[in-house]
Chain A
Amino acid sequence: MKPTRPKLLLIDDGDRYAELLHRFLRDYDFATRCDLAGPCWDCPQRQGCTLTHAHDLDEAEQALRRHRDVDAVLLDVAFDLPESRLAPSTERDPERRRRLQGLDILTALRRRRPELPVVLMTSQEELALEDAAGATDGDELVTVAGADVFDARSIGLLIERVLRTRGTGTTSADYLWGSSPAMARLRRDVTALARTSLPMLLLGETGTGKSALAERVIHPASGRSGPFVAVDVAALPSTLVAAELFGSTRGAFSGAVDRVGRLEAAHKGTLLLDEVGNLPLELQRMLLTAVESGRVTRLGESTARPIDVKLVAATNADLTAMIDAGTFRADLYARLNPTARLELPPLRARIADLEALIAAFVRGSFAAGMDRALLAEYAVAAGIRGPVRADVAFGRPPAHPEAVTFVVPRPSLAAMSTHAWPGNVRELQLAVANATVFALADACEAARQGKAATAAAPRVVPIAARTIKALLAPASVATSGRGPSSVGIRARTSLNQVARDLERDLYQQLFEVTSGDFDLMARRLLGTGGATAARKVRLRFNQLGLRARKA
């Protein structure tokens, strides 16, 4: 769970601006370098304290490691620092480096946290005098504060606007772009195309996050007032696809009822056609007609209805090969705007984002639902008071974590870095969900027996290396013929929901295959049996909303 108040990190060589923010902007939390519980204005040691913020790049990176939940950065531009403390720069003149140090810090920040909104505490006039006015062009997450930077009310309003943009714009908080060049290119292109009426074709292996990109980035960035509607073509029986997409009237065919099709349902909004390569040829023609004419005719009707839909198609199939094979229409392919080539890289090609993705999944999975209830249950058992949220650390646990922090051993992270991840980000999300739930179940049990997860720090929950090893082992369970992406049709399907559906399917199938033997299920899922392992699997089984009746 995110804290109720947004958290800001200030990077400024002086302490006066920090004092101002802490005095006048009390609706925010601040990422400090101090181990004491905040807020700073209640602290008896606040006079002359310099731990309130970061004074240079090194301190900023420390603060961001300590506070992974920072929502926005306020960054000064001119830094009066000795050369040894300046961020790396291509600029040779030390004085100019100091005057524009904030831009070098911004460049370094972008490599580690590309999704963070940054407010530059300067004006365009000041930047223009340094020939740096265009330095932030193309980075839609940077805002130049202007002359009102020291006006607490103005800066408060500005931060609110920045945070709102982050929550609903092209950089929705729960879509992690990461730092790979391929994702940076994709982000630039997607951002540009989302605002147009052009169709978008998302390519990429299964599990790379095509649906999430459509729902969390493209639809919000399109600025369209209508709904986001997702259709997984592969999940629909071919006999129903036409009625689902185009709608029907009673009597149009045997059993037909009056129904609004998905194209109509997405009017003024966005329609995601997932696995578009599975669309039968006849329906490809109908779709092409609808896209070209901007009108749709329900089955059994003769009147065409106007539609205004942003079409996003997604596939992991090679559509050009399908055209050659005569199973996909070349004219529809051309209409899907393939020249933009929006290709999501597989996880193995953006492995540098592994830590950031894991962190995002941990925070997200414990923010709501049954996982959140389990976290709350652990907090009670471990005697942790107040609101509780989840975070993750790699290698060494933090000394004084604010959140319940799952600790991933470094060797496990290394193993994850070399894993092939055939299921890509979706597979990683499932692995993280399982690993954290199992670790939490162990910690709950230990806490109930009077032992904290780690005796010194109940907020630290280690993830056993063997758990991750077992999760990375190839699954031996045969899946149904529908394939891993076949999770049915629904509007506003999220990656979280897809992952949960897949996991639920897997548990359900295992339950049937093993005739409800949780010990056997644990051996298949975790590579180990016994009462504890079986209990973990049963716990997760229940969390997924499955009922333990014998198959």
Chain B
Amino acid sequence: MTGREMARLVHDVGKYVARTARNLPAAPTPEMIDMLVRDLYELRPGRRASSLFDELAPPEPSLAGVRALLSEVDRLEPSVRAREAAAVGQAAELAREIERQLRALLSGA
């Protein structure tokens, strides 16, 4: 995977998936949760973050961890959309970890 491809993943997926997650307070407002939902499940119109990632990322073992995290985010979708506090917190943590891992891969690229 080229550094440029990695940079694009960080820019198009990493930054945006963690946009709200990294700023979320302990008791987020409904509007903030709606922003989080858009980051995770509507990153592009009608597309989840995981779907965009699959389109941009080559099938490389180094990205397996990020893929797994995105799958876990997708699994939480109904609960996050229902604004269940535990699921919102967990999804936000996963999103932050996705960005962190992508940036680490970029640094090593």
Contact = CB atoms under 8 A, between A and B. Distances in A.
Contact of A16 (B19, B32, B103): B19
Interface stretch (B10-18, B53-61, B82-90): B10-18
Contact of A129 (B4, B20, B22, B35): B4
B19 A150 contact: yes
Contacts of A17: 19
B62 interface: no
A125 B15 contact: no
A253 interface: no
A332 B23 CA distance: 60
Interface string A11-27: 00000110110011000
Contact of B19 (A20, A78, A125): A20
Interface in B1-46: 3-4, 6-8, 10-11, 15-16, 18-20, 22-23, 31-32, 35, 38-39
A126 B15 contact: no
A99 B106 CA distance: 16
Contacts of A150: 15-16, 18-19, 22-23
A277 B84 CA distance: 77
A24 B23 contact: yes
A151 B109 contact: no
A19 B20 CA distance: 10
Contact of B23 (A130, A147, A152): A152
A149 interface: yes
Interface string A147-164: 101111100000000000
Nearest to A76: B11
B7 A129 contact: yes
B1 to A, nearest CB: 12
Interface string B52-95: 00000000000000000000000000000000000000000000
Contacts of B107: 125
B106 to A, nearest CB: 6
B11 to A, nearest CB: 5
A432 to B, nearest CB: 44
Interface in A136-174: 147, 149-153
A147 B15 CA distance: 9
Nearest to B100: A147
A273 to B, nearest CB: 52
Contacts of A151: 22-23
Nearest to B107: A125
Contact of B109 (A20, A122, A129, A149): A129
B7 A20 contact: no
Given A126-B7, A130-B4, A20 B23 contact: yes
Interface string A263-280: 000000000000000000
Q: Which label, helix, strand, loop or mixed, suits the secondary structure of the B interface?
A: helix
Contacts of B7: 125-126, 129-130
Contacts of B4: 99, 129-130
Nearest to B109: A129
B106 A125 contact: yes
A465 to B, nearest CB: 51
Contacts of A78: 8, 11
From B7, B10, B16, residue with most partner A Cβ within 10 Å: B7
B103 A147 contact: yes
A99 B6 CA distance: 13
Nearest to A128: B3
Contacts of B8: 78
Nearest to B18: A150
B10 A126 contact: yes
Nearest to A153: B23
Interface in A1-53: 16-17, 19-20, 23-24
Interface in A74-119: 78, 99
A218 to B, nearest CB: 40
Nearest to B38: A16
Contacts of B31: 23
B35 A23 contact: yes
Nearest to A95: B4
A48 B86 CA distance: 28
A126 B5 CA distance: 11
Nearest to A77: B11
Contacts of B103: 147
Nearest to A80: B12
B11 A19 contact: no
A366 to B, nearest CB: 38
B35 A149 contact: no
B16 A126 contact: no
Contact of A20 (B3, B6, B20): B20
A16 B23 contact: no
A149 B106 contact: no
From B3, B4, B23, B103, residue with most partner A Cβ within 10 Å: B23
Contacts of B106: 125-126
Contacts of A152: 23
A17 B11 CA distance: 12
Nearest to B10: A126
Interface string B96-107: 000000010011
Interface in A384-442: none
19 contacts: A16-B39, A19-B35, A20-B20, A20-B23, A20-B35, A23-B32, A78-B8, A125-B7, A125-B106, A126-B10, A126-B11, A129-B7, A129-B109, A130-B4, A130-B7, A150-B15, A150-B18, A150-B19, A151-B23
Given A16-B19, A16-B39, 8 more contacts: A20-B35, A24-B23, A99-B4, A125-B7, A129-B3, A129-B7, A130-B7, A150-B22
Interface of A: 16-17, 19-20, 23-24, 78, 99, 122, 125-126, 129-130, 147, 149-153
Give the 6 A-B residue pairs with the shortest CB-CB distance, closest first: A129-B3, A152-B23, A126-B7, A129-B7, A24-B23, A150-B19
